Amino acid sequence: MFKPQIKVPATYMRGGTSKGVFFNLSDLPKPAQVAGEARNNLLLRVIGSPDPYGKQTDGMGGATSSTSKTVILSKSEQADHDVDYLFGQVAIDKAFVDFSGNCGNLTAAVGAFAISNDLVDKSRVPDNGVAVVRVWQANIKKSILVHVPMTNGEVQETGDFELDGVTFAAAEVKLEFIDPADGDGALFPTGNVVDDLEVPGVGTLKATMINAGIPTIFVNASDIGYTGTELQDDINADAAALEKLETIRAYGAVKMGLIQNIDEAAARQHTPKVAFVGAAQNYKASSGKQINASEINLLVRAMSMGKLHHAMMGTAAVAIGTAAAIDGTLVNLAAGGGALSEVNFGHPSGTLKVGAHATNTDGNWQVTKASMSRSARVLMEGVVRVPQ
């Protein structure tokens, strides 16, 4: 006798250029309310993984890194915060949920969910104006401020803010990532803004390896045979390109101290990210929109879960803004160098503006805040059914 499916309250939301299934921690089955196998199995089954067909047909996932995501929220246990935000990146073809990093895009939806599900004290939520939701990002133990527009006591989701990589306009949600460097304050785990990264089969590459938003390895597009104008099919349809970029990621992860040997990289798909940068030039975005060099400071293409991302991960955008603000990084140099408190970069779907404030004290770089704008909205809410 097979047991019936269980019903778990859930909300399907878009945040930035990603979408995922959001849960209130208290709505999860008791065994899944704590970290462990029961929680992982639940999230995997909700999303439809592992799927050897790579389609996630029997789940809520969309068969891409941008749409194979889960979020668990609860009233914050941290002082001066409203909500605790735990992000789970669900592998598509493996039975694996990666909790090693944040999703900056879905962060844009966290504030709206928290308000709508009474996780924020009503005294902090105006009927009209902007509610500032203080988010504790539990994966990376950092604070994020999410500015949620409110109208007549409800979250304002519709608007005229356009975000490249998202088809329709919506309300603007401003994000502020506070002190985005990793926990010990080491922006650059090697101590250098640029390193020589030896990658067998590829060569010795100049690399900027930074912990801001999410651990990210930046290399020059020209050093690995690209221009920085590439679109998804240019990379994702090329098995040799994917292998080369994953090899760079693995050796960079070792140099950053995230793993001990390259064999461990396969079990840590979400972090670090690898991205390649280039000087601004004209190109046509995936939508057909013409992007002119005069509109942007530089080009960036980033890999996510082994594939070229269709736009830009929010956390990687924080890394881009942070690195751009620091003189001498590959990102800064690609953007022309100098003091850059804000850059507008070109990605496969269009452009994105991100800002950061960096200071240098006795040779140590620190970034107090990185900021950008995204949008978010509820796609569906109710219950998700899960086989027991």
Neighbouring residues of 387: CB distance < 8 A, sequence distance ≥ 6: 3, 5, 45
Q: Which of 103, 303, 305, 372 is catalytic?
A: 103
CB-count exposure of residue 20 (10 Å: 0-12, 13-18, 19+): buried
- The reply to whether 372 belongs to the active site is no
- The reply to whether 1 belongs to the active site is no
Q: Which of 150, 256, 303, 313 is catalytic?
A: 313
Instruction: Give the Cα separation of 74 and 233 in Å (integer).
Output: 39
Q: Indicate which residues carry an active-site annotation.
A: 103, 313
